[in-house]
Amino acid sequence: MTWLVRSAMCALYPRTEGLPGLEDCDVDGFLERFQRESPLLMWVGVLAGALVFHLTPVFTVFVPLPAFLLPVSLLDRHSSRIASSDWYLVRQAIFLVKFPCGLCWGEHPEVRRRLALAAYPQDPGTWRVD
Amino acid sequence: MPHVSFRERRFEGDVDYVVVGSGAGGAAAAVVLARAGAKVALVEAGAWREPEQYPSSAYGAMRDLMDDWGATVTMGRALWPVVQARTMGGTTVVNSAIAIRTPADIFTQWEREHGVGGEGLRDQVWAEQAVLERELCVEEVPVGSRGRSNELAMKGAEAMGFESHWIRRYAKGCEGTGQCLQGCRKRKKQSTNVVWVPEVMERGGLVLSCAPVSRVVLEGRRAVGVEGRFQHPATRELGASFLVRATKGVVVAASVTHSPVLLMRSGVKNRALGQFFRAHPGTGVFGVYDEPVDQNVGATQGWASTHYRETPGLKLETLSVPLELVASRFAGGGVELMKRLGQYRHVAMWCHAVRAESTGTIGHAPFSSKPVVRYTLNADDMERFRQGMYLLGQMHFAAGARAIIPGIAGLPFQLEAKDVELLRNGPTDPRKYIAILSHLFGGCVMGADPTRSVVDGEGRVHGYEGLVVADASVIPTNLGVNPQHTIMALARLFANAMLARA
């Protein structure tokens, strides 16, 4: 199921002339880490959001195909429209996908370099035991 | 063995007082008790991280410092996150350490509506706050650490002609690294894990980390200790059980959401438990400026105004938001979203906190200690909310913004000055806004009437012996200002009252 999440994330944050997209940000490594470290309920929410993303092109671009089968131009239009849906629960479901997207994309050194931000040092992930 | 972290062998300890929670309330109470010579155990659900162990990224902050990855949301018309930390030091690690004295009208309101407070409590709280300001080095954000976002906010307020100020914080020599929300790795923020928890240990106290308390142990109506099971901070696997017995008293300061749940699960009977939950819901408006703002440079929150605290009931503040969170907060998706994110260096976020009158409840999920917060803003509060958006929009334009990004569903992504009236007539449906609840109150409110309150004016749980609550859950009304200074002062007073009774 991870590929479903990955493809929704990459469609929402695509590569552009000015900025790297999620596919340039080691999204696979990030997802492996996120799935392992985040609460199960959060991961289930992200999965559900990705499902909503893939099953709704018929409402946004009026094509009865899952999003992962859409051509690039239609996929981009779908990404834009579904993320701004008038339906609150749909917007929230997509937000669940956008949340890890933001975490992954915004911490990537190349993205930060392009936006004149200092690269983050590695998070220690340690705690005091003595 | 002054510090006990996650372990797989059962731990038992005996002390005079046990304090649950190491945030603003718990640590303040613990250090007062320890200074008086009592043996104190401080029990914290989260891990103990030294500042050099703090994460830098938003991902790391969610994982290592926030309660449940910040995923607790209100159950109501809108799903708004309830922000609290879960780490040694509690929310003092991840907030902006803002120190504002409790406004005088609050004590009058508490006395009138709840039978506690009045001028006597006011004088005591202010005296404690004066001590805290010296002890925790409260100072105004230094000139060199303000950053452009804060300076623009001051410019906007001055142009609009309302009173505002540089924020005073528990921070000694802030260097303006813009990392308040991820914890101050420079050790400038005087969070409780840096100042008071080590002192409790030095004075012979016992500190347990990675130790969520599942139950206050009661013998009849007397609190005699706490028990729980260690939880590994990375894997979240449960370790061994622990029991800390207290001969003189138990102080619960586990946060607004966790304290009521802990008391419920311990069998404390009180009709007001979990009731009268309140908050300062808030959101922000981004201004887009021609010159780079670089909001990540300078104090995360350096400017504020309490000018609108009474009417309509708003506090205005700056808040620099990490790129990761802006990336998920900006509306839209695809190429359009990426173009919007290209503006990051040019945006400044200013936010409002509504002094909301709406109340909610706190309970817990079935067979779980996870708090469930039920809360929806009423029409009056949504009107305040909308007015706050309008004010922030006006402020940005007064400061020279070329556009604003209000983040309201159904409105254009970006508005120009001529469109700012759209905010005045904006939606009053909370589902249209992306907001959070930052300052929380209630759930174990104090008052004289045991049928309408959980604790008395000294934090004692009605009908129980040796059981005191000392965090924001006792605060019965919205303050309209940042609550940390009030929480700390009340906790110190409650601890002193415990010592006097002993």
pLDDT, tens digit (0-9, with 9 covering 90-100), for B99-145: 999 999 999 999 999 999 999 999 999 999 999 999 999 999 999 99
Q: Which domain holds residue A98?
A: 2-114
Predicted local confidence at residue A67, as pLDDT: 97
Q: What is chain B's mean pLDDT, rounded?
A: 96
Who contacts B264 (Cβ-Cβ below 8 Å, separation ≥6)? B273, B274, B363, B364
Does B462 have pLDDT greater than 80? yes
CA Rg value for chain B: 22
* CA–CA separation, B449 and B337 (whole Å): 54
Does B192 have pLDDT greater than 70? yes
Contact list in A for residue B47 (CB cut-off 8 A) is 127-128
Calculate the CA A99 to chain-centre distance.
Answer: 7
Which domain-ending residue is among B381, B415, B437? B437
Predicted local confidence at residue B360, as pLDDT: 98
* Binary contact (A125, B209; C-beta < 8 A): no
Who contacts B56 (Cβ-Cβ below 8 Å, separation ≥6)? A120, A121, A123, B179, B182, B185
Helices (H), A16-87: 27-37, 40-55, 57-60, 72-83
Predicted local confidence at residue A130, as pLDDT: 82
The alpha carbon dihedral of B71, B75, B79, B84 has a sign of negative
Contact list in A for residue B54 (CB cut-off 8 A) is 124
Who contacts B88 (Cβ-Cβ below 8 Å, separation ≥6)? A128, B22, B44, B46, B47, B48, B49, B193, B197, B207, B209
ipTM of the shown complex: 0.97
What CATH number is associated with residue B218?
3.50.50.60
Whole-angstrom CA distances from B255 to B245, B326, B430, B472 are: 21, 27, 25, 7
Does B88 have pLDDT greater than 80? yes
Element (H, E) at B499: helix B484-501
Nearest to A127 among B53, B329, B338 (CB): B53
B344 touches chain A (CB under 8 A): yes
Does B374 have pLDDT greater than 90? yes
Q: Which residues in chain B (49-78) have CB-CB distances under 8 A to chain A?
A: 49-50, 52-60, 62-64, 68-69, 71, 78
Contact list in B for residue A74 (CB cut-off 8 A) is none
* CA–CA separation, B162 and A121 (whole Å): 41
Closest by CA position to B437, among listed B474, B385, B490 = B385
Domain check: are B149 and B207 in the same one? no
A123 touches chain B (CB under 8 A): yes
B341 touches chain A (CB under 8 A): yes
* CA–CA separation, B188 and B179 (whole Å): 11
What CATH number is associated with residue B413?
3.30.410
Contact list in A for residue B410 (CB cut-off 8 A) is 86
* CA–CA separation, B442 and B459 (whole Å): 13
Closest by CA position to B320, among listed B343, B297, B292, B341 = B297
The answer to the question of residue A127 being in a domain is: no
Kindly report, residue by residue over B5-45, the tens digit of the pLDDT: 999 999 999 999 999 999 999 999 999 999 999 999 999 99
Domain check: are B419 and B461 in the same one? no
A66 touches chain B (CB under 8 A): no
The answer to the question of residue A126 being in a domain is: no
The answer to the question of residue A120 being in a domain is: no
**Cβ contact B70:B182 at 8 Å:** no
Domain check: are B461 and B429 in the same one? no
Domain check: are B44 and B150 in the same one? no
Kindly report, residue by residue over A3-36, the tens digit of the pLDDT: 999 999 999 999 999 999 999 999 999 999 999 9
Does B366 have pLDDT greater than 90? no
Amino acid B42 reads: L
Q: Which domain holds residue B354?
A: 141-181+277-437
Beta strands, E only, B143-237: 165-166, 168-170, 206-208, 213-219, 222-231
Domain check: are B334 and B418 in the same one? yes
Kindly report, residue by residue over B415-455, the tens digit of the pLDDT: 999 999 999 999 999 999 999 998 999 999 999 999 999 99
* CA–CA separation, B121 and B108 (whole Å): 10
A99 touches chain B (CB under 8 A): yes
* Binary contact (B69, A128; C-beta < 8 A): no
The answer to the question of residue B444 being in a domain is: no
The answer to the question of residue B73 being in a domain is: no
Domain check: are B317 and B385 in the same one? yes
Predicted local confidence at residue B438, as pLDDT: 86
Nearest to B328 among A34, A95, A121 (CB): A95
Nearest to B332 among A41, A84, A115 (CB): A84
* CA–CA separation, B459 and B500 (whole Å): 14
Domain check: are B464 and B320 in the same one? no
Does B458 have pLDDT greater than 90? yes
| B313 to chain A, closest Cα gap in Å | 27
Contact list in B for residue A104 (CB cut-off 8 A) is 59
Token reading at B41: 């155990």
* CA–CA separation, A2 and A18 (whole Å): 28
Domain check: are B337 and B472 in the same one? no
Q: Which residues in chain A (15-54) have CB-CB distances under 8 A to chain B?
A: 16, 18-19, 21, 34, 37-39, 41-42
* Binary contact (A116, B292; C-beta < 8 A): yes
Domain check: are B268 and B281 in the same one? no
Closest by CA position to B387, among listed B361, B426, B331, B336 = B426
Question: What percent of chain B has pLDDT above 90?
Answer: 97
Whole-angstrom CA distances from A22 to A8, A19, A79, B266 are: 10, 10, 14, 47
Angle at B459 between CA B455 and CA B460, to 5 degrees: 65
Q: What is the three-class DSSP state of B393?
A: helix
* Binary contact (B331, A117; C-beta < 8 A): no
**Cβ contact B444:B459 at 8 Å:** no
The answer to the question of residue A121 being in a domain is: no
**Cβ contact B302:B495 at 8 Å:** no
Domain check: are B328 and B457 in the same one? no
Domain check: are B130 and B212 in the same one? yes
Strand pairing report for B361-364 and B371-374: antiparallel
B5 touches chain A (CB under 8 A): yes
Kindly report, residue by residue over A73-106, the tens digit of the pLDDT: 999 999 999 999 999 999 999 999 999 999 999 9
| B385 to chain A, closest Cα gap in Å | 19
Nearest to B50 among A80, A121, A128 (CB): A128
Q: Which residues in chain B (381-410) have CB-CB distances under 8 A to chain A?
A: 409-410
Which domain-ending residue is among B403, B437, B471? B437
Domain check: are B307 and B419 in the same one? yes
The answer to the question of residue B60 being in a domain is: no
Q: CA-nearest residue of chain B to A30?
A: B59
**Number of domains making up chain B:** 2
The answer to the question of residue A22 being in a domain is: yes
Contact list in A for residue B409 (CB cut-off 8 A) is 84, 86, 88, 91
Contact list in A for residue B58 (CB cut-off 8 A) is 102-103, 106-107
The answer to the question of residue A107 being in a domain is: yes
Closest by CA position to A53, among listed A87, A7, A102, A1 = A7
The answer to the question of residue A106 being in a domain is: yes
The answer to the question of residue A123 being in a domain is: no
* CA–CA separation, B236 and B310 (whole Å): 44
> Tokens 């039978």 sit at which residue?
B115
Whole-angstrom CA distances from B258 to A74, A114, B83, B262, B379 are: 46, 42, 12, 6, 28
The answer to the question of residue B445 being in a domain is: no
**Number of domains making up chain A:** 1
* CA–CA separation, A74 and B236 (whole Å): 42
* CA–CA separation, B132 and A94 (whole Å): 44
Strand pairing report for B303-305 and B213-219: unpaired
Nearest to B334 among A80, A123, A124 (CB): A80
| B485 to chain A, closest Cα gap in Å | 27
A121 touches chain B (CB under 8 A): yes
Contact list in B for residue A75 (CB cut-off 8 A) is 334
* CA–CA separation, A104 and B127 (whole Å): 47
* CA–CA separation, B457 and B111 (whole Å): 10
Which domain-ending residue is among B388, B404, B437? B437
The answer to the question of residue B55 being in a domain is: no
* CA–CA separation, B128 and B488 (whole Å): 8
**Cβ contact B427:B408 at 8 Å:** yes
Predicted local confidence at residue B1, as pLDDT: 63
Q: CA-nearest residue of chain A to B78?
A: A88
Whole-angstrom CA distances from A58 to A24, A64, B332 are: 29, 5, 18
* CA–CA separation, B254 and B262 (whole Å): 8
Contact list in B for residue A123 (CB cut-off 8 A) is 55-57, 59-60, 63-64
* CA–CA separation, B221 and B20 (whole Å): 18
A74 touches chain B (CB under 8 A): no
